[in-house]
Structure formats: C-alpha cells, structure tokens
Chain A
Amino acid sequence: MSALTARFDVPLDRNAPRAARHAATAVLAGWGFRDETWLDTAAVVISELVTNAVNHGGGCVEVRLESHEERVTVFVADGSSVVPRRREPDDRGGRGIALIEAMASGWGLRDHEGGKQVWVDLELCPGREIPSGPQR
C-alpha cells in the first residue's frame, strides 16, 4: 500500500478542536483504521494539537494526516511560533503534552511557513482492515 494523505483547514475558535478531530477520525476510519480505542486516542491527540493552536495561534490551523503502510502521522500547522512546552504535571498547559506523550509514539516540531508545525506519530492501530483494490 502506498502513502495516503489528507489535509484540511479549520478556523481557529472554540469549536475548532471538535471539528478537527471529527473530520480526522472520519478520514482515518475511511482508510481502514477502525479500532474504536485507537480512534479515540487519535481524537485526543488531534484535539490537543488544535487546542494548542487556538490558545496560541490565530487565523486558521492546517491539519494534515499521512499514512505510510501501518504508520499514521498527524501534522498541525499554525501561524504562531509559540512552542508547546512540557511544564509541571500539575500545570494546566502540561496536561495536553502529558496526554500526547502517553497516547502517541513520538512528536516533534518544525518551522512551517513563518509559523510552526507540530507532528505526532500515532501508535500502531490494531486489526486494521486494509481496503482492497479492485479485483482483477
């Protein structure tokens, strides 16, 4: 199976995290990632990334999903260079990072068109049903 990609923009307001995670999990389910627990986990990660963009960014956030074989990476880019930081665990901002670190296999940052892009590698999805191509 080759790479699958999807990208969409979400206007940054209080409803952005919900809109983004619902759209993203619909795409992921369509790619055959249908394990409910895994999709719930993906939804938390995406919600955290977009919430961070709402709190620190402006305008729109760009969500990009990439699947290479069994691996899924989520990219969220916004126009802010404010970097999410791990703080004390009892600190409000630290809980978002703690959730991402607990629910994903890795994450990082890169510069993106004057702002930043956060990427998160999701854990492998159990029991993925790979969509089959047309029968020959």
Chain B
Amino acid sequence: MSALRLEVTGELDLATAPPLLDRVRAATADQPAAIVLDLAGVFFCDSSGINALIDAQSYAAARGIPLRVVNAQRVTRRALEVTGVLPLLSGA
C-alpha cells in the first residue's frame, strides 16, 4: 500500500489550522498505510500552523498511521527549522 499524499496550499495560521486538521482526520478514516503532507504550495506558516502539523502527526500516529511533511519552502521551512520540529515532521 502506498502513502496517501495530501497537497496543502496557501497560508497556515490561526484561521487555516482547524481545516487542515479536519482534512487529516478525514484522511485517516480510510486507514492509509501512511500520509504525506506536501507543503510545496504553502507560502506562510506561523506557530499556529506548526502546532497544527504536530497535532496532525500525533493524531495519525495514534491510529497507527505515520505522517510526514515534505517540501516546506522558504519561510515555512525556516519556521520549522528554528522551532526545532523539522526533523520530527520530516520523519527523519
């Protein structure tokens, strides 16, 4: 079974964190072997966005589904790096 890839676009913040979590919760219902969150289309991420990514990973992990984040760009990547969560979210 292959990983389910979810493309995330736009800005990750206080307003868009809840819909992202809803999307991941819905995706876990089908019990994919793994989930990959592709952030190539995300051009902004603050701590609300980071918390949502961490929560999404924890939620999936609690259901036995590994979730990892790929393709974080520019300021999103920098935000994940300086808060020290990039290795965790990348599944490294």
Q: Could you tell me which A residues sit within 8 Å of B by CB distance? A: 14-18, 21, 37, 40-41, 43-44, 47-48, 51, 54, 89, 92, 95-96, 98-99, 102-103
Which of A14, A37, A43, A44 has most B Cβ within 10 Å? A44
Counting chain B residues whose Cβ lies within 8 A of the other chain, the interface size class is 10 to 19
- Known A37-B75, A40-B74, A92-B51; judge A99-B44 contact (CB<8 A): no
Provided the pairs A14-B14, A17-B14 are in contact, do residues A41 and B75 lie with their beta carbons within 8 angstroms? yes
Which residues on the A side are within 8 Å of B79 (C-beta)? 44, 99
B11 near A18 (CB under 8 angstroms)?
A: yes
A16 CB contacts on chain B under 8 angstroms:
14
| Cβ contacts B7-29/A at 8 Å (1 or 0 each) | 00001011100000000000000
What's the minimum C-beta distance from A21 to chain B, rounded to whole angstroms? 8
Contact B46 A96, beta carbon cutoff 8 Å:
yes
A43–B45 Cα gap in the complex (Å)?
10
Q: Verify B83–A89 contact, CB threshold 8 A.
A: yes
Contact digits for B21-52, partner A, Cβ 8 Å, 1 yes 0 no = 00000000000000000000000101110110
Q: B44 near A40 (CB under 8 angstroms)?
A: yes
**A-chain residues with CB within 8 Å of residue B84 when the two chains form the complex:** 89, 98
Our pick among B13, B44, B75, B83 for the contact of A51 (Cβ within 8 Å) is: B13
Tell me which residues across on chain B come within 8 A of A54, comparing CB atoms: 14
Beta-carbon contacts of B47-89 to A below 8 Å, as 1s and 0s? 1101100000000000000000000001100110011110000
Taking A41-B78, A99-B83 as known contacts, 11 extra A-B pairs with beta carbons closer than 8 A to each other, sorted by chain A number, are A15-B15, A17-B13, A17-B14, A17-B48, A37-B74, A40-B75, A44-B75, A89-B83, A95-B47, A99-B46, A99-B47
In the bound assembly, the distance between CA atoms of A14 and B16 in angstroms comes to 9
A18-B13, A103-B82 given as contacts; is B75 within 8 A of A47 (CB)?
Answer: no
